[in-house]
Structure 1
Amino acid sequence: MKEEFSWPRQAAEDGSAGKQPLLVLIGPTAVGKTRTSLDIAKTWNAEIISGDSMQVYRGMDIGTAKIMPEEREGIPHHLIDICDPEYAYSVADFQTGAAEAIGQIAGRGRLPFIVGGTGLYVESVCYRYRFAENGSDEPFRREQELFAAEHGAEALHGRLGAVDPEAAQRLHPNDLRRVIRALEVYHLTGQTFSEQQAGQTKESPYELCIIGLTMDRAELYRRIEQRVDLMMEQGLVEEVQRLLARDLPPTAVAMQGLGYKEIANYLQGNCSLEAAVELLKRDTRRFAKRQLSWFRHMKDIHWIDMGENFHNNLQSIHAIIAGKFQVDLEYTSNQSFRRG
């Protein structure tokens, strides 16, 4: 039985132990983060923190491509299935929950490992963003909701594009809650959401190792279409039916997730199932493009092309992690550690 590698606990009270190591794996949807993360977690004695804004919701499994308990290979996963779809889970909620999980994981002598594709969520933890309390304007929010209901989500998204093109590029038109919040921030402060983000510090309280997965765009799009077809086979329509039966409002955060808005549109009689599926594939391709655009603005990412040999990719990833954290351990062919 191999010895389990133990990471140093969090810094001592006097700070002598240095920064807490934090491993991060990012990349667009369908690039292979889940499969890769399991191997990394087993190799480096890590626990995974989901960095996905929709996997927090119970009962939303298929459309979010959630890794189920029986698929986790014994690796603890955090921030999955922690709230009901009625709750408007926010990036501030994620930041708090992830910070708590990091502390708990490190306290067990294991490596905290964030895996996900929601760029703002991941960055908010990596660099401990401060979210200004700009207040709210409920009449303004209702006005924007009514505008979207009358003219469509794309028209509201166009309003955001007129004042904050960078935020509009990053936010999906169907993400009404965040689009409205970005408009509200500008309405209340005269400063765009993007300007507020740009003012955030990029110094991390952690010893970061960020791995980014990418692949040829055509191959990524092919994998996205395959994933959507599989979701349909697994019962995405029935999953959305169950959500609609809960009488969730159209503006609920949970209903803005990819797959849910498109299939709900079909179930409400607004389009054919075939058209809904094609729209979902198109929207997911666009989402992957926006994810990559977001990640390009992040710094210190070690990129791995997943179109090459998977085993070689893993060897490269392990070498990056060992080098970044200066861990004097040798990775061997049987995935065991030997102290150097």
Structure 2
Amino acid sequence: MSSASNDSAKPKLLVLIGPTAVGKTRMSLDLAKAWNAEIISGDSIQVYKGMDIGTAKIKPEEREGIPHHLIDICDPVHPFSVAEFQERCAALIPAIQSRGKLPFIVGGTGLYVESVAYAYEFAEVGSDDAFREEMRLYALNQGAEALHDKLRAVDPEAAQRLHPNDQRRVIRALEVYHLTGSTVSRQLEGQKKTSPYELCIIGLTMDRAVLYARINERVDAMIEEGLVEEVRGLLEQGVPGDAVSMHGLGYKEIVLYLQGHMTLESAVELLKRDTRHFAKRQLSWFRHMNDIHWIDCGENFNENLQTIHGIIAGKFRMELEYTINQPFDDGGNAQ
């Protein structure tokens, strides 16, 4: 049997990735309507209730009737993980297919998206509470950067992906190395890049200077919309400042301001800088992924949209006019 035949027997999965502020949300709505899709958020912070402004979460009234999944599914005190994301997608994707719709993952958290697209198997490494406490105290006494330097010494790739303020994940990466003698990055490299799905992955990118300007404008808009009040409200509700959710962009910086460690102006500038660095790390991660069809998002949105329609039609071997408002069968094929 040919590889094309094998692919056609797999369920279809559409994926849209790209750095923050590149325009994934707007593009995803038009694609979802055209291809009869339901959207699965591939964002590690949009899962949290009450964390709306800082995550640029699409409002219910903006979703144009398109179902969105894995948004507002847990409280901010819950340490949501890639394994949980993978588990939920394993149930969601066939459920979406059973409704005759196309599963469509949209997001910028590279590990989350890849873990589903290629069915990563995460080994049960275990834990060492004494080691975690030792690392926590080290960070407390020496600073987050010093802890991050420990990770950089043993796993530079993981250190590049993780922000120094993401203490939980930095400690976990160190713990994995401590327990196994193998780095998290080496374990990821060992994953088989084969997929249980017929994948079509679209990547959005744009000129770096333009992207950075959009990031700066987005941060200013978030402040105007009430980001400080949102973070203050979360803290008043009892969400710890060092919770996993609060390590998200827009939250850790404003927490520092609210705790009196810096002025609001400094926090905003830090947020802009951190977001630019995050976008750079996102692009670095995506560049190592397989089979991405990259689209340079210029000013002509409709032209880019038509290009993407052509890519999807070619990959899934069907014409767009036959898919609009048409259900998919259990294999993800238009009926």
* 2:189 counterpart of 1:198: yes
Give the Cα separation in 2 of the matches to 1:279 and 1:157.
18
Q: 1:91 maps to what in 2?
A: 82
C-alpha distance after superposition, 1:165-197 (max 9, x if no partner)? 011111111111111110000000000000000
Give the Cα separation in 1 of the matches to 2:226 and 2:240.
22
Match of 2:269 among 269, 278, 296: 278
* 2:67 counterpart of 1:115: no
Q: 2:331 maps to what in 1?
A: none
Q: CA deviation at 1:247?
A: 3.1
* Amino acid aligned to 2:229: E
* Amino acid aligned to 1:130: E
Given that 1:19 and 1:207 are in contact with CA atoms closer than 8 Å, whether structure 2 keeps it comes out as yes
Give the Cα separation in 1 of the matches to 2:265 and 2:223.
11
Q: CA deviation at 1:308?
A: 3.9
Give the Cα separation in 2 of the matches to 1:193 and 1:57.
25
Q: 1:37 maps to what in 2?
A: 28
Give the Cα separation in 2 of the matches to 1:288 and 1:217.
9
* 2:322 counterpart of 1:315: no
Structure having greater relative contact order (Cα 8 Å, sep ≥ 6) = 2
Q: CA deviation at 1:329?
A: 4.1
Q: CA deviation at 1:17?
A: 6.9
TM-score by length of 1: 0.92
- Unaligned 5+ segments in structure 2 are 1-5, 327-333
Q: 1:302 maps to what in 2?
A: 293
Give the Cα separation in 1 of the matches to 2:295 and 2:161.
23
Match of 1:326 among 311, 317, 323: 317
Aligned length: 323
SS in 2 for 1:65: coil
Give the Cα separation in 2 of the matches to 1:130 and 1:287.
26
Q: CA deviation at 1:94?
A: 0.2
Q: CA deviation at 1:336?
A: 7.9
* Amino acid aligned to 1:59: G
Give the Cα separation in 1 of the matches to 2:135 and 2:241.
13
* 2:249 counterpart of 1:258: yes
* 2:139 counterpart of 1:152: no
* 2:128 counterpart of 1:105: no
* Amino acid aligned to 1:115: V
SS in 2 for 1:302: strand
Q: 2:231 maps to what in 1?
A: 240
C-alpha distance after superposition, 1:215-265 (max 9, x if no partner)? 000000000000000000010000100111133334311110001110010
Give the Cα separation in 1 of the matches to 2:168 and 2:129.
13
Given that 1:57 and 1:80 are in contact with CA atoms closer than 8 Å, whether structure 2 keeps it comes out as yes
Greater shift, 141-150 or 162-171, is seen at: 141-150
* 2:206 counterpart of 1:215: yes
* 2:22 counterpart of 1:19: no
* 2:259 counterpart of 1:268: yes
Match of 1:81 among 72, 79, 84: 72
- Aligned-pair RMSD on alpha carbons? 1.8
Q: 2:122 maps to what in 1?
A: 131
Distance 1:249 1:141, change over 3 A: farther
C-alpha distance after superposition, 1:53-90 (max 9, x if no partner)? 00000000000110010110000000000000010000
- Unaligned 5+ segments in structure 1 are 1-14
Give the Cα separation in 1 of the matches to 2:42 and 2:316.
21
* Amino acid aligned to 2:14: L
Given that 2:35 and 2:320 are in contact with CA atoms closer than 8 Å, whether structure 1 keeps it comes out as no
Given that 1:47 and 1:112 are in contact with CA atoms closer than 8 Å, whether structure 2 keeps it comes out as yes
SS in 2 for 1:114: strand
Q: 2:51 maps to what in 1?
A: 60
Given that 1:318 and 1:331 are in contact with CA atoms closer than 8 Å, whether structure 2 keeps it comes out as no
TM-score by length of 2: 0.93
SS in 1 for 2:9: coil
Distance 1:17 1:35, change over 3 A: closer
Given that 2:15 and 2:200 are in contact with CA atoms closer than 8 Å, whether structure 1 keeps it comes out as yes
Q: 1:8 maps to what in 2?
A: none
Give the Cα separation in 2 of the matches to 1:18 and 1:100.
19
Give the Cα separation in 2 of the matches to 1:241 and 1:29.
24
C-alpha distance after superposition, 1:116-150 (max 9, x if no partner)? 00000000000010110010001111111122222
Given that 1:123 and 1:129 are in contact with CA atoms closer than 8 Å, whether structure 2 keeps it comes out as yes
Given that 2:235 and 2:241 are in contact with CA atoms closer than 8 Å, whether structure 1 keeps it comes out as no
